[in-house]
């Protein structure tokens, strides 16, 4: 009788419950499978039997045109990725600086605070396409001697940074303000200065908390880098446009669009995973 | 038990006044704390105990009065407040451990970034303290995995690891389940043995009687009565004090 807990046997009631649950699970899987199959069949038959279907496939899913356009689009995507890389870095830096400027309390920094506030209001309201036109065509139009000829992809990076920094700074600021004042109080009571409190206590917690919305902005940026094509940069969108004009066929647009989607999927999944992980950590210890 | 050095006070406060807008919280409080002494602040909620402690740590700005730490006027406007705050530890009712840091890193943070100790040195000190309070095996855990009593003991250690000249405890047992209060009080007793100078706001009257050398009863922002702990509890002189003590005993 000493180790009854080791010889634990589930009761009759529990065994019945388990059998019932297992059966129900098998049944749901089967139903889901059958209904998916039926749905797919209806869609496929419906699409293919539509009168204009052959013209649709010819115009949007032409394999030969796709293969011909592929190299130029891939080359363009490579440019998009490089612009994305540099824009992301500069957006994180500028966004963080703007957010920190807005949290400064010292009267010396009053002009900085006002500047950051005005900047964020302005660039969140201004359409990105107008920023792109003004930076991309306006700055070279000034013919500044000392600036020389700036590549359009650099101008595009600057324009994207101007707009996205405003959004991202608001995300950072929300994160900073969401950290309970008692954390700041505890840090200051240990003798940490304002800036060390910010860097060692507030920001690490704030960034973790806003990681999901930050990643969301990153996904948006990932496709908005395609907008640099309006400046004449031969990116994936512009490359596709050239191919479309050449073949009078829309397959290159569809292809480059699909590549953007494929690039976004890992980021989206990654964002979901971070959110789930954070949620799990915050609920640690509770049953639900 | 350590002998108290009566020659010069560790902390001296005169005429501390604090008000929020029109509401007067502290109406001129005087306070003396001698090295190795434990001073208990008692009084009902809203009597100004917490505010007084926060003023002493310079987290709250005082509206009048002066504070000296070992003879230095720390209420002078040109004083480097961050330097003073590391000399005066403050522990909160709600622990306020840093949620993103492990127990070990909570303790080493100020050792490294305020006192400039190396990582190894800071961790050595922190682990010594964690060993002393029996939490060495929790060093890499995060605060949310610890019980309230464990968190509060960590918070106290986080403050005393800096070797402050004065430790302020703001109702450190009030947020704890009754069964967890004991372990925190044990730690405070232990700190008294090693000569830590403490001012503590508390509702634990029997603990104050056991451990404190001096008791101050705050009422409506002023010191209503103060005295040696044994004398204070045995023969309260003011009617307000008697009323307060009977009211708390009734519970």
Mean of per-residue pLDDT scores for chain B: 91
Mean of per-residue pLDDT scores for chain A: 89
Q: Do B85 and A284 touch (CB under 8 A)?
A: no
Per-residue pLDDT reduced to its tens digit, B73-100: 999 999 999 999 999 999 999 999 999 9
Q: What pLDDT does residue B83 have?
A: 92
B1 assigned to some structural domain: no
Q: What pLDDT does residue A4 have?
A: 54
Q: Out of B82, B84, B87, name the one closest to residue A193 (CB).
A: B82
Q: What pLDDT does residue B250 have?
A: 63
What angle, rounded to 10 degrees, do the helices at A251-282 and A53-60 form?
80
Q: What single-letter DSSP state applies at residue A138?
A: I
Does the pLDDT at position A279 exceed 90? no
The pTM of this model reads: 0.80
B78 assigned to some structural domain: yes
All domains of chain A in start order, with CATH: 83-233 (1.10.3720.10)
Reported ipTM: 0.87
Question: With a CB-CB cutoff of 8 Å, which residues 88-147 of chain A face chain B?
Answer: none
Q: Do B86 and A191 touch (CB under 8 A)?
A: yes
- How many structural domains comprise chain B? 1
Per-residue pLDDT reduced to its tens digit, B114-168: 999 999 999 999 999 999 999 999 999 999 899 999 999 999 999 999 999 999 9
Does the pLDDT at position B251 exceed 70? no
State the smallest CA–CA distance between residue B215 and chain A in angstroms: 24
Site of tokens 């009854």: A4
Q: What pLDDT does residue A1 have?
A: 47
Per-residue pLDDT reduced to its tens digit, A170-198: 999 999 999 999 999 999 999 999 999 99
Task: Please check whether residue B80 touches A, CB under 8 A.
Answer: no
Q: Which residues in chain B are closer than 8 Å to A192, comparing Cβ atoms?
A: 82, 109-110, 113-114
B3 assigned to some structural domain: no
B5 assigned to some structural domain: no
In terms of residue numbers, what domain contains B82? 11-249
Torsion angle, alpha carbons of B44, B50, B52, B55, to 10: -160
Q: What pLDDT does residue A200 have?
A: 95
Q: Do A186 and B96 touch (CB under 8 A)?
A: yes
Q: What pLDDT does residue B169 have?
A: 95
Higher pLDDT, B247 or B222: B222
Asked if B38 and B213 count as a contact pair (C-beta separation under 8 A), the reply is yes
Q: What pLDDT does residue A286 have?
A: 41
Q: What pLDDT does residue B3 have?
A: 64
- Angle at the Cα of A174 (from B51 to A111), degrees rounded to 5? 80
* Cα separations in angstroms, A167 against A21, A110, B49: 48, 21, 44
Q: What pLDDT does residue A232 have?
A: 87
| Both structure tokens of B156 | 């106290």
B122 assigned to some structural domain: yes
B172 assigned to some structural domain: yes
Site of tokens 């095996």: B137
Q: For residue B115, what is the domain's CATH number? A: 3.40.50.300
In sequence order, which residues have a C-beta less than 8 Å from that of residue A71 and are 6 or more positions away? none
Per-residue pLDDT reduced to its tens digit, B5-48: 777 899 999 999 999 988 999 999 999 999 999 999 999 888 99
- Residue to mutate among A105, A188, A191, A284, with most B CBs inside 10 A, is A191
Share of chain A above pLDDT 90, in %: 65
A5 band by pLDDT with thresholds 50, 70 and 90? low
């Amino acid at each position: 009788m000493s180790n009854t807990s080791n010889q634990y046997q589930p009761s009759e009631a529990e065994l019945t419950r388990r059998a019932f649950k297992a059966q129900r699970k098998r049944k749901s899987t089967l139903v889901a499978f059958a209904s998916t199959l039926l749905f797919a069949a209806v869609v496929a038959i419906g699409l293919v039997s539509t009168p204009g279907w052959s013209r649709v496939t010819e115009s949007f899913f032409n394999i030969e045109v796709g293969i011909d356009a592929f190299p130029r689009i891939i080359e363009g995507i490579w440019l998009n990725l490089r612009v994305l890389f540099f824009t992301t870095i500069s957006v994180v830096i500028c966004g963080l600086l703007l957010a920190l400027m807005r949290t400064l309390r010292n009267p010396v920094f009053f002009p900085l605070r006002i500047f950051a506030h005005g900047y964020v209001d302005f660039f969140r309201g201004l359409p990105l396409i107008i920023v792109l036109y003004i930076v991309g065509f306006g700055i070279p139009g000034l013919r500044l001697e000392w600036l020389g000829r700036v590549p359009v992809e650099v101008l595009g990076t600057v324009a994207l940074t101007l707009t996205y920094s405003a959004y991202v700074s608001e995300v950072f600021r929300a994160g900073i303000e969401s950290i309970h004042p008692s954390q700041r109080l505890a840090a200051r009571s240990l003798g940490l200065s304002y800036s060390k409190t910010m860097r060692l206590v507030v920001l690490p917690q704030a960034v973790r908390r806003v990681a999901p919305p930050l990643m969301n902005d990153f996904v948006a940026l990932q496709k908005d880098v395609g907008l640099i094509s309006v400046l004449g940069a031969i990116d994936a969108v512009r490359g596709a446009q050239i191919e479309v004009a050449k073949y009078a066929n829309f397959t290159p647009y569809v292809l480059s669009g699909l590549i953007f989607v494929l690039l976004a999927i890992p980021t989206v999944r990654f964002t979901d995973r971070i959110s789930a992980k954070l949620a799990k950590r915050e609920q640690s210890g509770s049953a639900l | 038990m350590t002998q108290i050095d009566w020659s010069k006070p560790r902390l001296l406060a005169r005429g501390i006044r604090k008000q929020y807008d029109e509401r007067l919280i502290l109406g001129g409080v005087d306070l003396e704390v001698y090295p190795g002494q434990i001073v208990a602040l008692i009084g009902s909620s809203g009597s100004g105990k917490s505010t007084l402690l926060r003023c002493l740590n310079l987290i709250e700005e005082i509206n009048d009065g002066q504070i000296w730490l070992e003879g230095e006027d720390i209420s002078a406007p040109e004083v480097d407040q961050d330097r003073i705050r590391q000399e005066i530890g403050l522990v909160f009712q709600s622990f306020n451990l840093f949620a993103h840091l492990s127990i070990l890193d909570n303790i080493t943070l100020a050792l490294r970034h305020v006192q400039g100790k190396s990582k190894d040195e800071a961790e050595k000190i922190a682990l010594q303290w964690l060993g002393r309070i029996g939490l060495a095996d929790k060093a890499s855990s995060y605060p949310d995995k610890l019980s309230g009593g464990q968190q509060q003991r960590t918070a106290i250690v986080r403050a005393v690891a800096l070797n402050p000249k004065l430790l302020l405890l703001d109702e450190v047992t009030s947020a704890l389940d009754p069964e967890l209060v004991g372990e925190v009080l044990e730690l405070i007793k232990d700190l008294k043995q090693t000569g830590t100078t403490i001012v503590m706001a508390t509702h634990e009257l029997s603990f104050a009687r056991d451990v404190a050398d001096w008791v101050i009863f705050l009422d409506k922002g002023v010191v209503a009565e103060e005295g040696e702990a044994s004398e204070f509890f045995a023969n309260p002189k003011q009617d307000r004090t008697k009323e307060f003590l009977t009211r708390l005993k009734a519970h």
